[in-house]
Amino acid sequence: MKDFPYTEKKDTRSGFGAGLLELGRTNPNVVGLCADLTGSLKMDAFQKEFPERFFQVGIAEANMIGLAAGMTIGGKIPFTGTFANFSTGRVYDQIRQSVAYSGKNVKICASHAGLTLGEDGATHQILEDLGMMRMLPHMTVINPCDYNQTKAATIAIAEHEGPVYLRFGRPVIPNFTPADQKFEIGKALMLNEGTDVSIFATGHLVWKAILAGHILAEKGINAEIINIHTIKPLDTEAILKSVAKTGCVVTAEEHNRFGGLGDAVAQVLISNNPVPQEYVAVNDTFGESGTPDQLMEKYGLTENDIVAAVERAISRKKA
């Protein structure tokens, strides 16, 4: 099992803030909009350096999406920022009608996604957002795994024409991907080649998958681990190539088991190469208040849960 050394832990939302600031310095058409959470979204450096290109709309998320859609008509590239729950659930109608339906070039950037929002609890956590957004025609859906990848993704989506949903979070996690990486939308990343099982992970669960890979190696199980940072468009070629070799699958995501990465992968498999698949995801429930680590443990999103899912998947393989 390959090692992934790192020297620091960082939050992925700070990767978004760093990427947005770099875009501000290189692309005069990039503008920022925020719904009263500038510090939480790490948009404050962009606001300070480019006050004429930053719009604080207050607690009016639906208005923010409408403003962003309108700005694209004048050639601007708006990046909207608020918590993932308010970026999707609160404004789904506005996104559907004003952004996705007309293919507007809006970048919907969402922090504090999943359970790791922690103590704020179920009303602020969202576990349905990937499913909601991937169902929208024209929408690209991206869920990077660490600070460096989030920064690179933020920069990359400015060059992509069309609406994008970019998901990231609050907790500090290992920053292990290259600082100089080039982010390629829709291209999965091989982290560890293996022969016994394919682990497809996204977001914060990528690092958990790496930890699981080391535990599995000690058990004599050779896991192939792939970082699926783009949920839509999905890298079906990478998925099918991996599964043809391993014969079984585990998907890992900080999301409801319905509608997210697991279902996206299952749709590919059922049409091409049905194999045993196990989900590591929240089992059709809302979250609750607690520390991120407590919640990940309670809702079955740890490296040990991935290991158990791998063992179940392997046991279902045809001899």
Whole-angstrom CA distances from 218 to 205, 211, 214, 310 are: 20, 11, 6, 14
Active site residue 61: yes
Q: Which of 78, 77, 82, 84 is nearest to 35 (CA)?
A: 82
**Phi first, then psi: what are they for 11, rounded to 5°?**
-85, 145
Round to whole Å and give the CA distance between 31 and 46. Answer: 9
Note whether 5 and 30 are within 8 A (CB). Answer: no
Q: Which of 61, 253, 278, 303 is catalytic?
A: 61
- What dihedral angle (degrees, nearest 10) is formed by the CA atoms of 207, 208, 209, 211? 90
Round to whole Å and give the CA distance between 75 and 99. Answer: 14
Note whether 127 and 228 are within 8 A (CB). Answer: no
Note whether 127 and 256 are within 8 A (CB). Answer: yes
Residues designated catalytic: 61
